[in-house]
């Protein structure tokens, strides 16, 4: 069997040296992978239980058209999400176009003119800068008279409690906490740490709304931020919770009032959750959610595998090879553009779709340097599928995530190593 697999990798362009190097690293990861499998097992039961408790039936998999009144499948799915997150209610819709939209919706619907938004964990994800109005933008919160304040993390990554307390005032209405590091180098927040921060904030102002940007964090741990006091969690269905099958969508789960506000903003005052046809996507939403715990586990194993390979070769990796994981993103710093480009070529060459395409750096709107992206996905732009990207600027880091199966994530990383070795950027 081992020989058969080796031969197959050879046919797929993996040399014997790369294969042997990877196998040796994998031997050392068995214990960590077993731990990830335990988390997936727990979360798989959590999802199945939520589906059973809410009596998901065959009829739920069908969709509605037009107004979408009495859409049983949609309403049941929202109840399933609420159960999984131990929340009062949820909004899960194909009309929410992406993660940024879900976050913008949660913010715009729960804030009013004169309110202040606080980020106690530093700068939020790039696309939120325009939502908030940090960078001037049409329709931003700022245009509606909603102010913003930010407290950065301390040098060592810990919360700056003193300045968070100072930043909170009578106007502070909503606190946004980003779980994942996104494209920064700070550590990702564990659910436990998020809970500590929320306790501190509620201790100062009990009625402030605590929202967590949960992108890339779903099902990585057994707990979610709503289990430790978050009033709202928000995310994208073309990341973890869509399990690779959801073709579009976003969710907001949390306090009934918060979710209701979001629904009235998404559709219309007076209509709220009552309208919004689910069209034909419900089966994929349900099935993707069902698969999400194991898909997330596969992606996590791929990230840990990559960290161990590239750390051993002398590159800086964030998180490092032994750290516990709280999201599925892996950064590798190559220190030169050729490394980022070779890595992305490897990911592209491993894709099931568009594997014959060669990714090149290009100038993208909103970025101040050329960016290279690799993805050959079934769902365009889906980053729960094997994907990588990196801005061509120091420290020349590439960000890697996803893989619908562990086997595919593994192959993708092996391809990156092959490209990196072929380009003479590292020697085994």
Ligand X SMILES: *Cc1c(COP(=O)(O)O)cnc(C)c1O
Q: Which range touches ligand X (CB under 6 A), out of 9-17, 66-74, 93-101, 281-289?
A: 93-101
Q: Which range touches ligand X (CB under 6 A), out of 30-38, 211-219, 367-375, 418-426?
A: 211-219
Q: Is 377 in the site for ligand X (CB under 6 A)?
A: no
The minimum distance between CB 24 and ligand X, in angstroms, equals 32
Q: Is 153 in the site for ligand X (CB under 6 A)?
A: no
The minimum distance between CB 181 and ligand X, in angstroms, equals 8
Q: Which residue's beta carbon is nearest to the bound ligand X? A: 99
Q: Is 401 in the site for ligand X (CB under 6 A)?
A: no
Backbone angles phi, psi at 213, to 5 degrees: -75, 105
Question: Contact, 367 vs 391, CB < 8 A?
Answer: yes
Q: Is 116 in the site for ligand X (CB under 6 A)?
A: no
Q: Which residues is 378 bridged to in the sheet?
A: none
Q: Is 188 in the site for ligand X (CB under 6 A)?
A: no
The Cα–Cα gap between 269 and 86 comes to 26
Which residue is it, tokens 């595998």? 305
Q: Which range touches ligand X (CB under 6 A), out of 13-21, 82-90, 213-221, 353-361?
A: 213-221
Pairing of the two strands 316-318 and 330-333:
antiparallel
Taking CB under 6 A as the criterion, which residues in 221-250 touch ligand X? 236
Pairing of the two strands 116-119 and 147-150:
parallel
Pairing of the two strands 209-213 and 232-236:
parallel
The minimum distance between CB 179 and ligand X, in angstroms, equals 7
Backbone angles phi, psi at 385, to 5 degrees: -85, 160
Q: Is 215 in the site for ligand X (CB under 6 A)?
A: yes
DSSP assignment of 315-361 equals -EEES-SSS--SSS-EEEE-SSHHHHHHHHHHHHHT-SSSTT-----
Q: Is 426 in the site for ligand X (CB under 6 A)?
A: no
Question: Contact, 292 vs 219, CB < 8 A?
Answer: yes
Q: Is 172 in the site for ligand X (CB under 6 A)?
A: no
Angle, in degrees to the nearest 10, between helices 30-53 and 282-312: 170
Contact pick of 21, 81, 216, 290 for ligand X (by CB under 6 A): 216
- Which contiguous run of DSSP H or E holds residue 282? helix 282-312
Q: Is 299 in the site for ligand X (CB under 6 A)?
A: no
Residue 127 or 137: which CB sits closer to ligand X? 127
Contact pick of 130, 213, 284, 333 for ligand X (by CB under 6 A): 213
The minimum distance between CB 254 and ligand X, in angstroms, equals 17
Q: Is 98 in the site for ligand X (CB under 6 A)?
A: yes
Peptide bond preceding 417 in cis form (omega within 30 of 0):
no
Q: Is 99 in the site for ligand X (CB under 6 A)?
A: yes
- Total binding residues toward ligand X, as defined by CB under 6 A: 13
The minimum distance between CB 63 and ligand X, in angstroms, equals 22
The minimum distance between CB 55 and ligand X, in angstroms, equals 31
Closest of 216, 255, 210, 211 to residue 104, by C-alpha: 211
Question: Contact, 418 vs 343, CB < 8 A?
Answer: no
Contact map string, positions 117 to 146, toward ligand X, x by CB under 6 A: --------x-x-------------------
The Cα–Cα gap between 391 and 245 comes to 28
Residues that bind ligand X (CB under 6 A): 98-100, 103, 125, 127, 178, 180, 182, 213, 215-216, 236
């Amino acid at each position: 069997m081992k020989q058969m697999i080796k031969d197959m990798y050879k046919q797929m362009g993996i040399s014997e040296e790369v294969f042997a190097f990877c196998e040796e690293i994998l031997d050392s990861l068995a214990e960590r992978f077993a731990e990830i499998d335990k988390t997936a097992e727990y979360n798989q039961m959590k999802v199945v239980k939520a589906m059973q408790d809410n009596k998901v039936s065959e009829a739920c998999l069908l969709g509605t058209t037009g107004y979408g009144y009495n859409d049983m499948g949609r309403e049941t799915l929202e109840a399933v999400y609420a159960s999984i997150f131990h929340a009062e209610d949820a909004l899960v819709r194909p009309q929410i176009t992406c993660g940024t939209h879900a976050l913008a919706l949660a913010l715009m619907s729960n804030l009013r003119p004169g309110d202040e938004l606080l980020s106690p964990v530093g700068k939020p994800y790039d696309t939120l800068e325009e939502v908030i109005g940090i960078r001037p933008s049409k329709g931003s919160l700022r245009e509606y008279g909603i102010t913003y304040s930010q407290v950065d993390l301390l040098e060592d990554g810990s919360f700056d409690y003193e300045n968070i307390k100072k930043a909170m005032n009578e106007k502070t209405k909503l606190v946004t906490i980003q779980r994942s590091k996104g494209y920064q180098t700070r550590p990702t927040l564990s659910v436990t740490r998020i809970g500590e921060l929320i306790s501190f904030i509620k201790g100062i102002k009990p009625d402030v709304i605590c929202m967590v940007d949960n992108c890339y964090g779903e099902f990585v741990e057994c707990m979610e931020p709503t289990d430790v006091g978050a009033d709202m969690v928000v995310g994208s269905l073309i990341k973890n919770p869509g399990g690779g099958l959801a073709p579009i969508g976003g969710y907001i789960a949390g306090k009934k009032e918060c979710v209701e506000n979001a629904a009235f903003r998404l559709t219309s005052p007076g209509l709220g959750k009552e309208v919004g046809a689910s069209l034909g996507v419900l089966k994929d939403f349900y099935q993707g959610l069902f698969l999400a715990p194991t898909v997330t586990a596969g992606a996590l194993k791929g990230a840990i595998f990559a960290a161990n390979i590239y750390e051993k070769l002398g590159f800086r990796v964030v998180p490092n090879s032994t750290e516990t994981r709280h999201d599925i993103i892996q950064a590798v710093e190559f220190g030169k553009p050729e490394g980022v480009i070779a890595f992305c070529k490897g990911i592209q060459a491993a894709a099931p779709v568009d594997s014959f395409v060669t990714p090149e750096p290009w100038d993208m709107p909103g970025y101040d340097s050329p960016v290279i992206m690799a993805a050959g996905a079934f769902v365009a732009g889906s980053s729960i599928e094997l994907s990588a990207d990196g801005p061509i600027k120091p420290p020349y880091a590439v960000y890697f995530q996803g893989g619908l199966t562990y086997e595919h994530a593994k192959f993708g990383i092996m391809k990156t190593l092959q490209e990196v070795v072929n380009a003479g950027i590292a020697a085994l």
